[in-house]
Structure 1
Amino acid sequence: MRRGIVLATVATLGLGLAACGGTAEKAADKMTEGNEAATTDAALTVWVDDNRKEAIEEAAKAYEEATGNKVAVVVKDIVKVKDDFQTQVSNGEGPDITVGAHDWLGAFVANGTVAPLELGDKAADYSEVAVKAFTYDGKGYGLPYAIENIAVIRNAKLADSTPATFEEFVAKGKAANVKYPFLVQLGEEGDPYTAYAFQTSFGAPVFESNENGYTDKLALGGENGVKFAEWLKANGKTGTGLLDTSINYDIAVEAFKNGEAPFIIGGPWMVGDFQKAGIEVAIDPIPSAGGQPAQPFVGVQGFYVSSKSKNALLASQFLTDFVGTKDVQLAIYKAGNRTPALKAAAEEASSDAVTAGFAKVAEGAVPMPSIPAMGTVWGFWGKTEAAIVNGEDPKAAWEKMVSDIQAEIDKLAK
């Protein structure tokens, strides 16, 4: 569950693999070319969290039956996985494979923690945004298995649709005649993860990007960034009051459960609570506040191969040919209710209207940056948004934020 930027940064390379062109046939050829011992003696260790354990054990069983190689599935606390993995790999230890979020990738690359994992022709079998999320500087890393993003979650009994513009969205929300026209969590520290779709609708993404992905050049400043900051103030404490830092995650969820708003901006991690409360939910795109498309962040979950794995070829085969199957990705989906990254699995999962709704919104979403510079952004970004909502001068506060973030990025470059 994501509760804003804290879990967004938590939840959200040296050795070359080339994944044998991404094909099982080539992997099999390599294993039989004078490498018989590897096929009988090699073992893989995979770190997973508890939710993924059962599905990965099934994949491991199929792999063991097909190849004779043993797989040890080890359950780890997901909050500790990133740091533990980096520490152990740096000491030449740790698992061959670990579960992880795509936004860990920048740190993993910088520290030489993970090996490239090119999907080859199989990349076309996965969601484009999922493949892009696990691509760094033009090179692929990781086997994606799930996608998560925010959207408008609508109480279907209070509103029959979600308008495309913010002004119409507010008007429709008010027409429901309940306490709030819509809910969006901010909290005293701000929540730029949840507010990002509104920001992008002003043409102010956090970083610039090119054909290889994100660069470390900030793009949230300038005229478009200031326009977004002005929008924050206009809808904050001294304006319309629609944005309120006293509304945190728990308050927003509880209010929506109680039927106090027709709309809430949130993710699939909220839906179970709403459905248990008897609310008929529908999922819609986030309206544009600035005239351009509103693009929320998308987070992608996947599996990485350690750069120190002694069985990198076998690890690649296990992921691409056994974890990257419809049955396994559907099993993971059923455990966590996140849209599968594999298209065939996503299509089947989309028989559920909620899953289909989030998947539709994800098509217009953008991967959360995984570059190391992203770590410098969150604190300044959130606190500045909160301050502007509470009445600070938007232009001065936003420009100072950009300057402060740039100073931190410059330190990284030294």
Structure 2
Amino acid sequence: MLTTALALTACSAPAPGDSTSSAGSLTVWVDADRAAVLKDAAAEFTKESGVEVKLVQKDFADIQEQFIAQVPTGKGPDITIGAHDWLGNFVTNGVVAPVELGDKASDFQDVAVTAMSFDGVTYGVPYSIENIAMLRNTALAPTAPTSYDDMIAMGKSAGTEFPFIVQVGPESDPYHLYPFQTSFGAPVFGTNADGSYNAGELTIGNAGGDQFATWLAQEGAVGNLNISLTGDLAKEKFNAGASPFFLTGPWNVADAQAAGIDVAVDPIPAPGPNAAQPFVGVQGFFVSAKSTNTLAASEFLTNYIATESVQTALYEVGKRAPALTASFEAASADPIIAGFGEVGATAVPMPNIPEMGSVWQFWGVTEAAIIGGQADPVGLWQKMAADVQGAI
């Protein structure tokens, strides 16, 4: 289906402003939220270099598919905004060019540069990082829990409807449950020496995975995990004071504060023997492999997008923690950003390898079946691992 969709997209006429730029200009795809910030950076770059920068606004959800479809035809942009977990598809489709950060690589948080790399090569300039952490209603829980069991005990002592809240839903939510899974030592894939994911080493079905599956069944049986708690309902319940704790991302903080909750951000308590590591998502900018002005594109990204002023401005617009360390440290004056950043610093990048696409289709529905007590948890988990391996 994806191949057909991409083929149809490639046959479509490009929208105005989509064509690859001439040598004296750059075309940059950007979403509406980031366009205003980049307008100033583009104007400064044009003033200094004489290279015109054309900003073309795109719906973020459409960018990956359109970029893969249009670049091979020579009708894509020189630069596009995007998410790091698109990178595997970009590289395997031959649509992105490496970006040489050089000494500037050390100016970014390590996890951001790792996320923007594939097979040891850096392909993007990061500007933000994002991850989940544990929100705490300080009126119901004045101090942070020291462990998962401590959190459950604190939640029960508060006398609220739920000891803690995490969105699960009828098909589960592996993204939100992943920190618990990693605490049992069951990452999806193994990693290479440089920190990149090894697609040939599927580790989700290891002994730690069996332990996690058993834990999911136990937590589902006692009601700590509930497949009726969708994302919207989880948010509604926490904002109504139905639990002291909410495992979620920065996107839900503003509404909680608007509901009158004094929010603190804590590390995620681990039910297993290891630290609870959530996925971290990184956003940044990529250079087209078909750009006719790669030198100017690289110059714009490394000497303008990778500056503290631009990264701070992007943070102020999107409220995503900056990838540039200097900008992040300045933003960390906000305790909310500092809290999420502390968790994100030890988080793991969402796998950016194409094989990850074979995981999602089996992962969530299996977790939901285990939480719902449908069958032997270990048997279900091992069947899922086998199905994923077969799909890969």
**Is TM > 0.5 for Structure 1 vs Structure 2?**
yes
Question: Is the contact made by 2:81 and 2:285 (CA closer than 8 Å) also made in structure 1?
Answer: yes
1:163 aligned residue (115, 122, 145):
145
Question: Is the contact made by 1:155 and 1:282 (CA closer than 8 Å) also made in structure 2?
Answer: yes
Partner of 1:89: 71
Partner of 1:378: 360
Partner of 2:293: 311
1:151 aligned residue (109, 130, 133):
133
| Secondary structure, aligned partner of 2:97 | coil
**What RMSD over aligned residues (CA atoms) do the two structures have, in Å?**
1.0
The residue type paired with residue 116 of structure 1 is: P
Partner of 2:218: 234
| Secondary structure, aligned partner of 1:272 | helix
1:283 aligns with 2:265: yes
| Secondary structure, aligned partner of 2:96 | coil
The residue type paired with residue 130 of structure 1 is: A
Partner of 1:302: 284
| Secondary structure, aligned partner of 2:165 | coil
Counting matched residue pairs gives: 368
The residue type paired with residue 400 of structure 1 is: K
The residue type paired with residue 368 of structure 1 is: M
Question: Is the contact made by 1:296 and 1:365 (CA closer than 8 Å) also made in structure 2?
Answer: yes
The residue type paired with residue 145 of structure 2 is: P
Deviation at 1:397, TM superposition (A): 0.1
Question: Is the contact made by 2:137 and 2:264 (CA closer than 8 Å) also made in structure 1?
Answer: yes
Deviation at 1:41, TM superposition (A): 5.8
1:61 aligns with 2:40: no
In the alignment, structure 1 segments of 5+ residues that lack a partner are 1-39, 410-414
Q: Give the distance between the partners of 1:161 and 1:404, measured in 2 at CA.
A: 43
Deviation at 1:291, TM superposition (A): 1.3
Deviation at 1:163, TM superposition (A): 1.7
The residue type paired with residue 198 of structure 2 is: T
Deviations 1:132-151 (A, max 9, x none): 00111011010000000000
Partner of 1:204: 186
Q: Give the distance between the partners of 2:50 and 2:260, measured in 1 at CA.
A: 49
The residue type paired with residue 379 of structure 2 is: A
| Secondary structure, aligned partner of 2:222 | coil
Q: How does 1:312-391 map to 2 (within 5 A)?
A: 312-391=294-373
Deviation at 1:235, TM superposition (A): 0.7
Q: Give the distance between the partners of 2:112 and 2:143, measured in 1 at CA.
A: 28
Partner of 1:406: 389
Question: Is the contact made by 2:23 and 2:293 (CA closer than 8 Å) also made in structure 1?
Answer: no
Deviation at 1:68, TM superposition (A): 1.1
Deviation at 1:92, TM superposition (A): 1.5
| Secondary structure, aligned partner of 1:152 | strand
In the alignment, structure 2 segments of 5+ residues that lack a partner are 1-21
Question: Is the contact made by 1:192 and 1:381 (CA closer than 8 Å) also made in structure 2?
Answer: yes
Q: Give the distance between the partners of 1:169 and 1:374, measured in 2 at CA.
A: 32
The residue type paired with residue 381 of structure 1 is: W
Partner of 1:225: 209
Q: Give the distance between the partners of 1:335 and 1:41, measured in 2 at CA.
A: 31
1:173 aligns with 2:155: yes
| Secondary structure, aligned partner of 1:299 | strand
Question: Is the contact made by 2:28 and 2:56 (CA closer than 8 Å) also made in structure 1?
Answer: yes
Q: Give the distance between the partners of 1:370 and 1:162, measured in 2 at CA.
A: 33
Deviation at 1:185, TM superposition (A): 0.4
- Please give the TM-score of this superposition, normalised by the length of structure 2: 0.93
- Please give the TM-score of this superposition, normalised by the length of structure 1: 0.88
Q: Which runs of 4+ in 1 moved over 3 A?
A: none
Question: Is the contact made by 2:189 and 2:202 (CA closer than 8 Å) also made in structure 1?
Answer: yes
Q: How does 1:188-199 map to 2 (within 5 A)?
A: 188-199=170-181
Partner of 1:125: 107
| Secondary structure, aligned partner of 1:293 | coil
1:246 aligns with 2:228: yes
Q: Give the distance between the partners of 2:226 and 2:257, measured in 1 at CA.
A: 26
Q: Give the distance between the partners of 1:290 and 1:149, measured in 2 at CA.
A: 20
Q: Give the distance between the partners of 1:96 and 1:227, measured in 2 at CA.
A: 47
Q: How does 1:6-45 map to 2 (within 5 A)?
A: 42-45=24-27
Question: Is the contact made by 2:24 and 2:51 (CA closer than 8 Å) also made in structure 1?
Answer: yes
* Residues 65, 229 of structure 1: alpha-carbon distance in 2 compared, 3 angstrom cutoff: same
Deviations 1:310-361 (A, max 9, x none): 0011100000001111111111111111100000100111111101110011
Q: Percent identity?
A: 52
The residue type paired with residue 196 of structure 1 is: Y
| Secondary structure, aligned partner of 1:235 | helix
Question: Is the contact made by 1:164 and 1:288 (CA closer than 8 Å) also made in structure 2?
Answer: no
Question: Is the contact made by 1:164 and 1:286 (CA closer than 8 Å) also made in structure 2?
Answer: no
Deviation at 1:385, TM superposition (A): 0.3
Question: Is the contact made by 2:23 and 2:292 (CA closer than 8 Å) also made in structure 1?
Answer: no
Deviation at 1:164, TM superposition (A): 3.1
Q: Give the distance between the partners of 2:206 and 2:141, measured in 1 at CA.
A: 36
| Secondary structure, aligned partner of 2:162 | coil
Question: Is the contact made by 1:152 and 1:264 (CA closer than 8 Å) also made in structure 2?
Answer: yes
